[in-house]
Amino acid sequence: MATLQQVDIGPQYLDEKEEEILKKIKARKQELGDKLLILGHHYQQEATFQFADMTGDSLKLAKYAAASRDKQYIVFCGVHFMAESADILTTDKQTVVLPDLRAGCPMADMADIEGVKWSWSELDKILDSNTIIPVTYVNSSAKIKAFVGEKGGSVCTSSNAERVLTWALEKGEKVFFFPDEHLGRNSAFALGIPDDEVVLWERGKLLGGNTEDQLKKAKVILWNGYCSVHMQFTEEHVRMWRQKDPEIKVIVHPECRFEVVRAADKYGSTEVIINTVSESPTGSHWAVGTEINLVNRLHKRHPDKEVHSLSPFQCLCSTMYRIKPAYLLWVLDNLAEGHVVNQITVDSETAKLAKIALDRMLEI
């Protein structure tokens, strides 16, 4: 996986009026026709999201890309790890493109392969690593997924983390879960695992900042990564809404802090949040703890309900926001002219091992 840098796309795109850019994107989509598939994650800004042929969470979109074998070009309006997953699951004849290479995921970057391997070797000094099953959230790099596949572990999503944790604890004595500590802690709690059997592994510290006895007792070891968007929601926000509106129902993403999830009425993945709000009765009141573009979309699509952000502040995924219409037009212009830019490729060995971890999840 070569490290690529985003090129300057120039004033012809960056200085163009958005309404003109949108017209040109529409025309390019028609020109590329059946060769093109545009995927849009729920956190995308509306100006870009409107051009998606399929929308969803990261894994749903990657699986859709894999099923669309007739599409030559797959333009992933998301972040880097999502495009990697799409490349892993598609054929060698398909090309996956990320409109802006700066669209990364800070949480995924918190679990770098060198740090994970070093931590694994630290654990192996005091435990039999063969009894440890690694589980990685889909929000992780291809190299981390490959490491997990090689070590007998599985990928999970925010929808199936509890099922994957159950599987892992049946297979081994302990789970090493990364990169999101909050999804791991919330899932462990839902399974009834005692607090003193869940420990936090602090990156860069010997034994993750734990004692040998703590690690020997632990069933779940959590990597201390987090989503900067979901960390902005607090328990105080939940209390504020309950005082302000007695009819409010609070739903949050499991990447939120433990105390926020416990204070909410319900928690779940982006798909769960969308379905819950969509299927609720007319007149329902909701405070939603997730990225603002999704919250705003729910607000617009359900005028018969009150849908608000749980936080009074704009909780925006800044890296996802990098996929602006100008960059989408730039990649489509190049594809129409026979040039591939910003292609995301995962080397064959990494892809092979990462796919093992993804396939294990699908089997579970």
**Helix H or strand E encompassing 278:** helix 270-279
Residues with Cβ within 8 Å of 10's Cβ and at least 6 positions away in sequence, in order, are: none
**What are the C-alpha distances in Å from 244 to residues 74, 230, 247?**
45, 22, 9
Considering the domain architecture, whether residues 123 and 210 belong to the same structural domain is answered as yes
Confidence at residue 339, expressed as pLDDT on a 0 to 100 scale: 97
Confidence at residue 3, expressed as pLDDT on a 0 to 100 scale: 56
Within a domain: 358: no
Considering the domain architecture, whether residues 114 and 222 belong to the same structural domain is answered as yes
Cis peptide before 179 (omega within 30 of 0): yes
Encode the chain (364 residues) as per-residue pLDDT tens digits. 445 799 999 999 999 999 999 999 999 999 999 999 999 999 999 999 999 999 999 888 988 998 999 999 999 999 999 999 999 999 999 999 999 999 999 999 999 999 999 999 999 999 998 999 999 999 999 999 999 999 999 999 999 999 999 999 999 999 999 999 999 999 999 999 999 999 999 998 999 999 999 999 999 999 999 999 999 999 999 999 999 999 999 999 999 999 999 999 999 999 999 999 999 999 999 999 999 999 999 999 999 999 999 999 989 999 999 999 999 999 999 999 999 999 999 999 999 999 999 999 988 8
With H, G, I as helix, E, B as strand and everything else as coil, classify residue 308. strand
Within a domain: 364: no
Considering the domain architecture, whether residues 209 and 116 belong to the same structural domain is answered as yes
Residue 83 CB neighbour total at 10 angstroms: 31
For the residues of 2-32, what is the DSSP string, one character each? ----PPP--HHHHTS-HHHHHHHHHHHHHHH
Residue 262: both structure tokens together:
């416990």
**How far does the chain reach from its first CA to its final CA, in angstroms?**
28
Cα(254)–Cα(156) distance, integer angstroms = 13
Domain membership of residue 78 as a residue range: 11-104+319-346
Q: Could you report the per-residue pLDDT of 272-290, keeping only the tens digit for each?
A: 999 999 999 999 999 999 9
Residues with Cβ within 8 Å of 265's Cβ and at least 6 positions away in sequence, in order, are: 249, 250, 251
Considering the domain architecture, whether residues 211 and 245 belong to the same structural domain is answered as no
Considering the domain architecture, whether residues 195 and 276 belong to the same structural domain is answered as no
Considering the domain architecture, whether residues 330 and 284 belong to the same structural domain is answered as no
Cα(324)–Cα(329) distance, integer angstroms = 9
Q: Using alpha carbons only, how large is the chain's radius of gyration in Å?
A: 21
Residues with Cβ within 8 Å of 9's Cβ and at least 6 positions away in sequence, in order, are: 326, 327, 330
Say if residues 55 and 46 touch (Cβ distance below 8 Å): no
Considering the domain architecture, whether residues 204 and 304 belong to the same structural domain is answered as no
What pTM was estimated for this model as a whole?
0.94
Tell me which DSSP letter residue 281 carries. Answer: P
Within a domain: 243: yes
Cα(179)–Cα(214) distance, integer angstroms = 20
Within a domain: 53: yes
Within a domain: 352: no
At 165, the amino acid letter reads: L
Say if residues 76 and 90 touch (Cβ distance below 8 Å): no
Phi/psi of residue 249, each to 5°? -115, 135
Residue where a domain terminates, one of 226, 245, 268: 226
Residues with Cβ within 8 Å of 86's Cβ and at least 6 positions away in sequence, in order, are: 39, 61, 62, 65, 66, 74, 76, 96, 344
Tell me which DSSP letter residue 75 carries. Answer: E
Within a domain: 357: no
Residue 338 CB neighbour total at 10 angstroms: 6
Q: Residue 252 pairs with which residues in a beta bridge? A: 267, 289
Considering the domain architecture, whether residues 213 and 116 belong to the same structural domain is answered as yes
Cα(278)–Cα(55) distance, integer angstroms = 16
Within a domain: 4: no
Considering the domain architecture, whether residues 234 and 221 belong to the same structural domain is answered as no
Within a domain: 239: yes
**Total domains in the fold of the chain:** 3
Considering the domain architecture, whether residues 245 and 210 belong to the same structural domain is answered as no
Q: Could you report the per-residue pLDDT of 225-256, keeping only the tens digit for each?
A: 999 999 999 999 999 999 999 999 999 999 99
Residues with Cβ within 8 Å of 11's Cβ and at least 6 positions away in sequence, in order, are: none
With H, G, I as helix, E, B as strand and everything else as coil, classify residue 65. helix
Considering the domain architecture, whether residues 113 and 222 belong to the same structural domain is answered as yes
Confidence at residue 1, expressed as pLDDT on a 0 to 100 scale: 46
Considering the domain architecture, whether residues 216 and 279 belong to the same structural domain is answered as no
CATH number at residue 298: 3.40.50.10800
Enumerate helices (H) and strands (E) in the chain, giving the number of each: 17, 13
